[in-house]
Amino acid sequence: MLKDLIIIGAGPAGITAAVYAARKKLDFSVISKDIGGQAAWSGDIENYTGFQFITGPDLALKFKEHLEKFEFDLREGVVVSGAERDGNNFKITTSNGNTMLAKTLIIASGKHSRFLNIPGEGEFKNRGVTYCATCDGPLFANKVVAVIGGGNSALDAALQMTRIASKVYLINLAEKITGDPVMQEKVAASSKVEILNKTKLLEIYGDKFVKGIRIEAEGEKRDLSLEGVFVEIGLAPNSNFIDFVKKNKLGEIIINCASETSVPGVFAAGDVTNVPEKQIIIAAGEGAKASLAAYRYLSTHRS
């Protein structure tokens, strides 16, 4: 069956696009591994308009409740593995082997965590190495952990773990931590956090579970005994499934101010795009723009 629109992803951008598409009475599907995307992994959110304070999981729940007000085809737990042109339309292939056709696409597939690619990372994944403090933080109650990175995601993870762990090492390769000044101040004020700048993580080791890490700073190597490693070194766009739209050197899909890609009928929104600021509220706004642009395209291209 030929849909008006397929939205790939259900983070803030995809969810907002779906709300606008539903209000425009489009015949559309949403395909996503989960609901909420990166927002669901966030800790405390203090900069989303309308909420002076809300947690990431709670905001994701609000998003889902809003979606449930509308009737449309939602395919949760499904990953898009391929996209191609099919005449004037677009064909989507999913991880379960199904294919779908649509007149337009909105790619709102977000990003995924970057890997360290060091010895021990793969071996101890889910055995002390994790990429989500919100998801896995409670497993490390009263334990010593390390957060790897120096940006907002690392600061957020470190702040979350100050409430759970007994000690938090913040290991940053750069000369100083970055991220929002307010978050920097909170991290610096915590007696539980030890910031190690200009420090390289060399190895993660253990037996059945993580027991420690080896680091190097100013030419000197040493070991830190700990039980958890939270990798927060940035994100890479989930854009490998589509190869016929233009991307930048980071793999982000290039869009204009109307959320249009290089291919007519294909739109993109949120963290998968080259829009510079990766914020929940910006992703939501971009999702609205993409949905309205898709509606305009359909209005002028319908036979």
| pLDDT tens-digit readout, 140-188 | 999 999 999 999 989 999 999 999 999 999 999 999 999 889 999 999 9
- Collect all residues with Cβ–Cβ distance below 8 Å to 220 and sequence separation of at least 6: none
| Averaged pLDDT, 189-200 | 96
Confidence (pLDDT) at 207: 95
| Cβ contact 171:196 at 8 Å | yes
Answer whether residue 204 shows pLDDT above 90. yes
Answer whether residue 43 shows pLDDT above 80. no
Domains of the chain (ranges, CATH numbers): 2-112+235-301 (3.50.50.60), 115-231 (3.50.50.60)
Confidence (pLDDT) at 101: 97
Confidence (pLDDT) at 4: 97
Q: Within 10 A of 28 (CB to CB), how many other CB atoms are there?
A: 24
| Lowest model confidence (mean pLDDT) among 125-129, 133-137, 293-297 | 133-137
Give the whole-number percent of the chain exceeding pLDDT 70: 98
Confidence (pLDDT) at 134: 77
Number of helices (H), then strands (E), belonging to the chain: the values are 6, 19
| Cβ contact 275:282 at 8 Å | yes
| Averaged pLDDT, 274-280 | 87
Here the tokens at position 137 are: 């933080």
| Range 58-67, long-range pairs (CB < 8 A, 24+ positions) | 59/280, 60/35, 60/36, 61/36, 63/12, 63/15, 63/35, 63/36, 63/39, 64/15, 64/35, 64/36, 66/15, 66/19, 67/10, 67/15, 67/18, 67/19, 67/30, 67/35
| pLDDT tens-digit readout, 6-33 | 999 999 999 999 999 999 999 999 999 9
Confidence (pLDDT) at 54: 84
What's the predicted TM-score (pTM) here? 0.79
Which residues are identified as catalytic?
132, 135-136
| pLDDT tens-digit readout, 209-240 | 999 999 999 999 999 999 999 999 988 999 99
Query: What is the Cα Rg of the chain in Å?
Result: 21
| Cβ contact 36:271 at 8 Å | no
